[in-house]
Amino acid sequence: MTNSAKTAARTAKNSRALEILARAGYAVLGLLHILIGAIAIGLVGGSGDSADQSGALQELSSKPGGIVVIWIVAIGLFALTVWQVAQVFLLDESDPKKKWGRRVSELGKAIAYGAVGATALTFALGGSSSSSDSSQSLSARLLANPGGVVVLVIVGLVVAGIGVAFVVQGVLKKFEKHLVIPAGTTGKVVRGLGIAGYVAKGIALFVVGVLFVVAAVTADPEKASGLDGALKSLIDLPFGKVILVLVGIGLIAYGLFCAARARWAKL
């Protein structure tokens, strides 16, 4: 990495204003996951809402003052994106292979935060967006090109792998290294929310990845319906409604964990 890039990253990391905005980013990310979890639980009762970021933002936009909140969501997530990009340049790791692996991971997080921030900005500016349609459109474009099936399978496997990684991080409580866990009952609650939240989000992402693979194998881009489609597909499983409710509760737990991370994250 160039010295100028490292200097810019260090300046960003040392910015108190950016730190505050980044913490706000975790808080609004938590809000979105709480809404997604609630929508997911509502699917059991036949709700037609989209159980993804777009659905959560649509829910916010329908409330009084919702657009103001969505602007805060967009700003917070863009700040979190900048913070994550700074981490890419400032990782402290002696092993070159591990260092590049962690850089890819941090960059992936930055892209994810930036994508949700862009969706929020679209709503803030009066537009609308559908995560499900975006996933299907991407799949259709890939399938229309030579080698697109292979690329879509790889995309699906990567997303599914991220889902597995979330479950592992939750079970092994690896998320703790990113926080200053408070003592006593509060700390136990934060750990519990982290475990439940990471496992639930991991399950949801794993199903999203599987749907991408199914879309590639069947040459049907409509199968790749994103998080909304992944959660809705759980209903068709044995005890699917129970599973969906549990995943919804887990996503709410992840949202509350993100809110806690806004307070106790190591930044």
Phi and psi dihedrals of 265, rounded to 5? -65, 145
pLDDT at 15: 75
Angle, CA of 75, 79 and 85, to the nearest 5°: 145
User: How many Cα atoms within 13 Å fall on the side-chain side of residue 223?
Assistant: 17
Spatial contact of 72 and 29, defined as CB atoms under 8 Å apart = no
pLDDT at 52: 81
Q: 3-class SS at 147?
A: coil
Phi and psi dihedrals of 193, rounded to 5? -65, -40
User: Cβ neighbours of residue 193 under 8 Å, at least 6 residues apart?
Assistant: 253, 254, 256, 257, 260
pLDDT tens for the 267 residues of the chain, in order: 556 666 666 666 667 888 888 899 999 999 999 999 999 898 887 766 777 888 888 888 888 888 999 999 999 999 889 888 887 777 666 677 777 777 787 888 888 888 888 888 988 888 777 666 677 777 888 788 878 888 888 988 999 999 999 999 999 999 998 899 988 999 999 999 999 999 999 999 999 889 888 888 888 877 777 788 888 888 888 888 899 999 999 999 999 999 999 999 887
Distance CA 147, CA 198 (A): 33
pLDDT at 4: 65
User: Cβ neighbours of residue 50 under 8 Å, at least 6 residues apart?
Assistant: 39, 58, 130, 131, 132, 228
pLDDT at 193: 96
Structure tokens at 89: 């340049």
Please give the C-alpha separations between residue 15 and each of 5, 19, 88, 165, 260, in angstroms, as whole numbers: 15, 6, 16, 31, 21
Residue 253 CA from chain centroid, whole number: 14
Token pair 């910015």 is at which residue?
A: 15
Neighbours of 170 (CB within 10 A): 24
Spatial contact of 253 and 201, defined as CB atoms under 8 Å apart = no
pLDDT at 6: 64
Q: DSSP letters along 31-81, please?
A: HHHHHHHHHHHHHTTT--S--SHHHHHHHHHTSTTHHHHHHHHHHHHHHHH
Distance CA 209, CA 6 (A): 34
pLDDT at 45: 79
